[in-house]
Structure 1
Amino acid sequence: MHELIVEDLRPGVALVQINRPEKRNACNQATWQAISDAFDALARRPEIRAAIISGTGEHFCAGDDIVAYNAAKADPAAAQRHRDSIVAAFDALLRTPFPVLAAMRGACVGGAVSLAMCCDFRIAHDSARVCIPVAKLSLIYPTAHIQRLVHLVGASVARRWLYTGEFVEAKSATRAGFFDALTDTDVLEAALDFAQPMLDKAPLSLRGSKMQINAICTDTLVDAAPAISQQISDIEESEDYKAAVTAFRTKTAPRFVGR
């Protein structure tokens, strides 16, 4: 069984599904690496304008496969490869140049919360539940992900989630700001509807905005400033900018190609 399923859901929209339902889609090293590889491959496809990550079965993702990781710890090199693959998966989502949406059902636990926060938007089914159980495992959540959590839900709510390790139901998580939309029907369809207004917008503009927002959320604007400045400079010479100017003058809708 493939641990990751990648397919085109609609023209311009790709679907990436974690496929370990027997483990509530908890990710082993191979799955984390497959997520990284899949999004890097999608980023090289100019026709893709958005991607949705979800899980097969009843759950989004139960986070890292702790059993697999503990087995890997017997070999320090294998344990490091496991940790590196998790970081690579998060980084791949963050650098993907188009909007990435998490379509979430059931459990979203631990590392899966980080995975969801590395997406641009989170769309939840009523069944979704969020939990960061570090206080129950005597662990500390990575600082960069706490920064993202605080930006989404505020410091007080973040403290409560981290200090208690309790499951937070979908409605409460939506009110807190973690979920961007909530549905009691098909969560993939809800994610598609949410993404629809973005699909015909200028890809270079969305890419630049994503770079800026990601840097703001983790206080890395100084490091990211050269790349952001280059993006701002390049976009004013792009085919898409010229098309937008022409469309404005002729009162027509521009057709963006991402160049």
Structure 2
Amino acid sequence: MTSDEVLVEAAGPVVRVMLNRPDKRNALNESVVHRLTTVLDDLEADPSCRAIVLGGAGRSFCAGGDMDANIDLEPDAARAESRHQAFLAAARRLRDLRKPTVAAVQGAAIGAGASLALLCDEIVVEAETRLGFGFLRVGLPPDLFCAATLQRRVGWTRAADLLHSGRLVGGPEAVHMGLATHLSSRPAQDAAIERAADLAALSPYAFAATKALLRAAWNGDAGAHSDLEAALVGVATTTPEFRAATAKFRS
């Protein structure tokens, strides 16, 4: 099962899903997120798949949204909101999977790339990994449920600091603050596959039930969050700050 932009490789009960745009540092566009949603739908229904590793080809996990593809020449909040719903569909599919998911984060995970990693159950990083949430620097609010998932992992105060500052977090600090789960001295993808194999050996029902209970304990209204985020992102793309910050991608 392959696609140019999303690769799927099974190794026993563990399936590796790879964002495959290394020349763009695996930046996300509509084509990628539509394909990712379809792949995850298929894997959820496949009984031979017991755990999923999400990774990126090349030196980076994901550099965020593809600014070349995702910026309209003229401001159009409705078009931006509609496009963002496709990204949110992929995020919801990843978030709601009943099966274990492990993000293998090598190199950079920036913006939507970091948000995507946070949707996985566990995150494996390397010492050289850099995670960043610099949405405000380009005039955008956080995306792909990041405002919720980041706060759940590191708490309100640290989440606000990371969003307000946009600073980069290295692998060791990410694990120390609870942003990531495991720090690996080996390539993140190798360690993530090994960890996913451990999770695949657990009872599928018990693991899915544990995920459901963790989500219920969060007690957030995901539907309302999704609609609000899409609307806010749509309007944000029409602001002078966003247009100025992204002008180089439109030239």
1:246 maps to none
Shift of 1:174: 1.2
Give structure 1 regions of 4+ aligned residues with deviation exceeding 4 angstroms: 72-78
After superposition, what is the alpha-carbon deviation per residue over 1:125-167, rounded to whole angstroms, capped at 9, x for unaligned?
2221011112211222259422221121122221221111111
CA distance in 1, matches of 2:161, 2:76: 36
Change (3 A) 1:182 1:24: same
CA distance in 1, matches of 2:127, 2:66: 25
2:29 maps to 28
Q: Where in structure 2 are there 5+ consecutive unaligned residues?
A: 225-251
Range 104-113 or range 151-160, more displaced: 151-160
Identical amino acids, percent of aligned pairs: 28
CA distance in 2, matches of 1:79, 1:160: 27
1:173 maps to 174
1:37 and 2:45 correspond: no
Q: Where in structure 1 are there 5+ consecutive unaligned residues?
A: 224-259
1:184 maps to 185
1:46 and 2:60 correspond: no
1:7 and 2:9 correspond: yes
Alignment of 1:1-259 (within 5 A): 2-8=4-10, 10-71=11-72, 79-142=80-143, 144-217=145-218, 219-220=220-221
CA distance in 2, matches of 1:208, 1:97: 8
Q: Is the 8 A contact 1:129 1:169 kept in 2?
A: yes
CA distance in 1, matches of 2:26, 2:74: 21
CA distance in 2, matches of 1:71, 1:203: 43
CA distance in 2, matches of 1:193, 1:117: 19
Shift of 1:109: 0.8
Q: What's the TM-score, normalizing by structure 2?
A: 0.81
CA distance in 1, matches of 2:156, 2:77: 35
Task: Give the secondary-structure state (helix, strand or coil) at the position aligned to 1:163.
Answer: helix
Q: What's the TM-score, normalizing by structure 1?
A: 0.79
Change (3 A) 1:67 1:143: closer
Q: CA RMSD of the aligned region, Å? A: 2.2
CA distance in 2, matches of 1:184, 1:171: 11
After superposition, what is the alpha-carbon deviation per residue over 1:172-204, rounded to whole angstroms, capped at 9, x for unaligned?
111111110011212122112222332222111
CA distance in 2, matches of 1:16, 1:57: 14
Q: Is the 8 A contact 2:14 2:197 kept in 1?
A: no
Change (3 A) 1:181 1:96: same
Change (3 A) 1:135 1:97: same
1:235 maps to none
Range 192-201 or range 50-59, more displaced: 192-201
Shift of 1:61: 0.2
The AA in structure 1 aligned to 2:182 is: A
